[in-house]
Chains A and B, each alone.
Chain A
Amino acid sequence: IAGITQAPTSQILAAGRRMTLRCTQDMRHNAMYWYRQDLGLGLRLIHYSNTAGTTGKGEVPDGYSVSRANTDDFPLTLASAVPSQTSVYFCASSEDRETGELFFGEGSRLTVL
């Protein structure tokens, strides 16, 4: 049982480059989320999707975009990376938006130089 798979696990990126973090789930969950986690701060929501074909902005959406073409995939794109986007990124899913039991991927550690 895979659950949620994220790729890459770790990446070092030059500022100004474009980067896509991939996320795939096999649980047929309706809702998916992208969070960033920085030392001393709680998880901060970047973007979310309540169901395939819809997306919404979270707390810190600037500089990021997402798409939800189907139920399973929810990629996160940094159009032009900046050093402040250095963070650990977690993709998560839940049965639906009203369910607070989230299942997380293993995380993608991104360093922007």
Chain B
Amino acid sequence: GQNIDQPTEMTATEGAIVQINCTYQTSGFNGLFWYQQHAGEAPTFLSYNVLDGLEEKGRFSSFLSRSKGYSYLLLKELQMKDSASYLCAVMDSNYQLIWGAGTKLIIKP
């Protein structure tokens, strides 16, 4: 079966760095996506990786290793507004998105 694993919850301190991991087993691979979802709101797109390596976008970076079935989202200089759930999703060979359950990130002052 297809599976996406990510930690349920993480806590970090304002101004620090946090890494949210995602491992996946899917039927084929057509890209890995990270979304941010604030409580009570809709998910919003953060990043996309299809090749191995690091993609940087401001304070957020996303890394992919296809051979290991592994990705991480790195958030730097954490701000209170980064408190949210972060969803990892993989597009399989049928172009269907398989979603992880999300990681709730709690930022403490």
Contacts and interface: CB of A to CB of B under 8 A. Distances in A.
Interface of A: 40-45, 58, 90, 97-98, 100-107
Nearest to A33: B97
Given A42-B4, A42-B87, A101 B99 contact: no
Nearest to B40: A107
Nearest to A6: B42
Given A42-B4, A97-B95, A100-B48, A90 B42 contact: yes
Interface of B: 4, 8, 30-31, 33, 35, 41-45, 48, 87, 89, 91, 95-102
Contacts of A103: 45
Q: Which 10 A-B pairs have the closest CB atoms?
A: A42-B99, A104-B42, A43-B99, A42-B101, A100-B33, A100-B91, A101-B45, A97-B95, A98-B95, A100-B31
Tell me the interface secondary structure of chain A in the complex. loop
Contacts of A41: 101
A58 B8 CA distance: 25
A98 B30 contact: yes
B102 A42 contact: yes
Nearest to B8: A40
A106 B4 contact: no
